[in-house]
Chain A
Amino acid sequence: MQDFLFYLVSGLCIGSIFALVAVGYTLVYGIIKLVNFAHGEFYMVGAYASFGTYSLLPSSTSPWLAIPLMVLAGGTAGAAIAGLTERVAYKPIRRSGRLAALLTAIGVSFLLQNLFAFFSQARPLQYPTEPHGSVGEICQRTVLLGTDGLVLIRFAYIGAAVLFCALLWYLVLRTRFGRAMRAVSQDADAATLMGIDVDRVIRHTFLIGGGLAGVAGTLIALQGVTEPMMGFLPGLKAFVAAVLGGIGNIAGAVVGGLLLGVIESLAVWAGVPTGYKDVAAFVILILVLVIRPQGLLGRVTRVKV
């Protein structure tokens, strides 16, 4: 039982990160039908920004002030790079078709990875775990679950996922801007005719998605490493999570992310060799898509010929 709990909690923690990243994927897809493959790089940029903030803060800063500031910086940088990418790379080709946009997204992804590799000399950055009471040390502290230690900061992943998903739910369903987003997602041309500033909605959607990715990257890097390629795998997993939940559906992205994390983890508990834990998750994905091609919470869209 204790083992089961450990695997379940581990899965929920990493699943929360997938959920935060997947929400950004799904928001952007919902608005402009773009699979933004550069989304993982917003996560990476967030991690770098928080590391930069950490380096700039005087070493006497209390970690309880420093960590929120770093998360804020990571989120802001994720939003900024997403906004910049939208303005520079996606907006000029918005009418050029989805293939052009997809290829541009892959190009942006490579560009950001290599820019950061160039400037960081590709050396992975880590928060020093000494002295006692420093940011790095606090983020390695553990809590015992039976006899197994779990890093405390991972519970913040779940907290962040709950907090930001609740805020997003409020934003999308209870505000004027949310209504505009839903309108653009249903029919951008009709929304324009209704007086909605579609460009602004798209821009703000990127800002929100990028911000969530930046927060996720910061949280992971706090107990991990910051390096240029760090966004690739979470980006891929989040994309899978978004598809699993039904791409374009926000609640679906959250459910998909959590499910993906939990399935991977519980597969190991159930005896699947660790080398095959991703395979287990992908088998479930394929099964879901065979039975419900629109994803768990996705809606069927009929295309009339």
Chain B
Amino acid sequence: MLRFQIAGSLPKAILAVSLMSSLPGMAQEQSPAPGARAIKVGISLPLSGALAAYGKSTLEGIRLRIEQANTAGGIQGAPVTLIVEDNQGDATAGINAYNKLAGSDKVAAVIGPITSTAALAVRRAAAKQKVPVVSPTATNDKVTQGHDYLFRTCFNDSFQGRIIASFAVREHKQAATLIDMNSDYSKGLARSFREAFTAAGGSLVAEEKYQQKDTDFGVQLKRIKDSGAGIVFIPGYPPELPLIIKQAKAIGLTARLCGADGWDNETVINGSGDHVANSLLVGAFSAEDQRPAVQSFLAAYQKQHRTTPGTFEALGYDSASLVLAALRHGTTPADVQQGLAAIRDLEAVTGKITMRNGDAIKSAIILKIVKTDGKYATKYVDTVNP
């Protein structure tokens, strides 16, 4: 669901990331004031429209990381500023946002878009402008394939689908999938799940599809129920996902439900009724993880927001970490592109990240939804290494 884009066609001397809120008096233009030139990083996220909640969550994570970096002295004394564009979660608006950030704002790198569909759309512009794109959450395999300027912080669909399939097949040999046919994320995940599940000796007995914004999934769920599947893999996200889970209960579907990172948010976990219990999902990080990178992120976020961060905040935070690490190599888009490609064993919230062909290679976590103290929460089950 998340994507990372980098574009670069800018004069190499100008790499300015500016964080508006934390840098009083720091001009947003690339005025080459000696000593403390702000380094600009572009942000292209859905801040309005149906995906606005995800865009805002991601932005909170990015802001936190950049503020921390600036408080610690920025990049060799130069502060980092953010230039934020709202891409409305739309592929065309995403291309326009990227072209503006890369072409006229002359940013060093662009974080976003977050959806696979929008990240796929921005690849051509990135190849032209040569400003690297870092997508926090675009999991579709093709986002980074053969595109030197696209990077992602999340793991890809093949990896996610494979992991959940390897767990699911141990419980039941017959699975069904329920796919959002308007989403490259959902289709890509379903494909990798199907391949891995059948390769592991299971069979796929139903493959049903729905449209984004549907409110009635009765006929799809009825088909799945009649297929005899013991596992139902639903690579979706809100607002459809909570409805699907509630309606699965209503129709009397008792198969084990499985999902991917689109499940790991409050709307799904505590908004889908009691049928979410015991569902398995792939998560990017777990708050139970005791690594210092995770615990310090949780502490810093909770201090600022008084709420617990989710997957999007964590991947936004890590995307900013990746860009900051790359900026230490140099501040032109070309430098950042090389810096991103060279990242090895970076201790991040969502794992120890090594970049390979634009993909963040790191471990994934299997989570199970359980009820504790009257509320549903994810519980750590296992870590799967790439």
Interface residues in chain A, defined as those with a beta carbon under 8 Å from any beta carbon in chain B: 3, 6-7, 10, 13-14, 114, 117-118, 121-124, 126, 129, 140, 142, 144, 147-151, 220, 223-225, 227-230, 232-234, 264-265, 268-269, 273-275, 277-278
Contact A274 B219 (CB under 8 A): yes
Which chain A residues border B52 with CB–CB below 8 Å? 117, 121-122
Contact A220 B50 (CB under 8 A): no
**CB of B79 within 8 A of chain A?**
no
A129 CA to B242 CA, complexed, in Å: 12
Contact B274 A129 (CB under 8 A): yes
Binary contact track B321-337/A, C-beta < 8 Å → 1, others 0: 00000000000000000
Contact A10 B210 (CB under 8 A): no
Rounded to whole Å, the gap between the CB of B130 and the closest CB of chain A is 33
Which chain B residues border A224 with CB–CB below 8 Å? 215, 243
Within the complex, which residue of B50, B222, B242, B250 is in contact with A126, where a contact is CB–CB below 8 Å? Answer: B242
8 A Cβ contacts from B214-272 to A: 214-216, 218-220, 222-223, 225-226, 238-239, 242-243, 246-247, 249-252, 267, 271
Contact A233 B239 (CB under 8 A): no
Within the complex, which residue of A117, A140, A232 is in contact with B246, where a contact is CB–CB below 8 Å? Answer: A140
A299 CA to B302 CA, complexed, in Å: 64
Rounded to whole Å, the gap between the CB of B103 and the closest CB of chain A is 26
Which chain A residues border B208 with CB–CB below 8 Å? 273-275
**CB of B211 within 8 A of chain A?**
yes
Which chain A residues border B251 with CB–CB below 8 Å? 142, 148-150
Query: Number of contacts between A and B (CB, 8 Å)?
Result: 110
Contact A225 B238 (CB under 8 A): yes
Which chain A residues border B50 with CB–CB below 8 Å? 117, 122, 227-229
Known: A124-B239, A126-B271, A149-B251. Is A273-B246 also a contact (CB below 8 A)? no
Rounded to whole Å, the gap between the CB of A236 and the closest CB of chain B is 9
Which chain B residues border A220 with CB–CB below 8 Å? 215
Contact A124 B211 (CB under 8 A): no
Which chain A residues border B215 with CB–CB below 8 Å? 220, 224-225, 230, 233-234
| Given contact pairs A3-B226, A149-B249, a sample of 12 additional A-B residue pairs in the complex whose CB atoms are under 8 Å apart | A117-B50, A121-B53, A123-B267, A140-B246, A151-B247, A220-B215, A223-B246, A224-B215, A229-B49, A233-B213, A268-B222, A277-B219
Contact A142 B209 (CB under 8 A): no
8 A Cβ contacts from B43-69 to A: 48-53, 56
**CB of B72 within 8 A of chain A?**
no
8 A Cβ contacts from B177-202 to A: 179, 181
Within the complex, which residue of B211, B242, B247, B250 is in contact with A278, where a contact is CB–CB below 8 Å? Answer: B211
A6 CA to B226 CA, complexed, in Å: 12
Rounded to whole Å, the gap between the CB of A79 and the closest CB of chain B is 22
Which chain A residues border B220 with CB–CB below 8 Å? 268, 274
Closest A residue to B47 using CB positions: A122
A-B contact pairs, 16 of them (CB 8 A): A13-B216, A121-B53, A121-B56, A122-B53, A129-B274, A140-B250, A148-B222, A149-B251, A150-B250, A225-B238, A225-B239, A229-B49, A232-B213, A233-B213, A268-B223, A274-B220
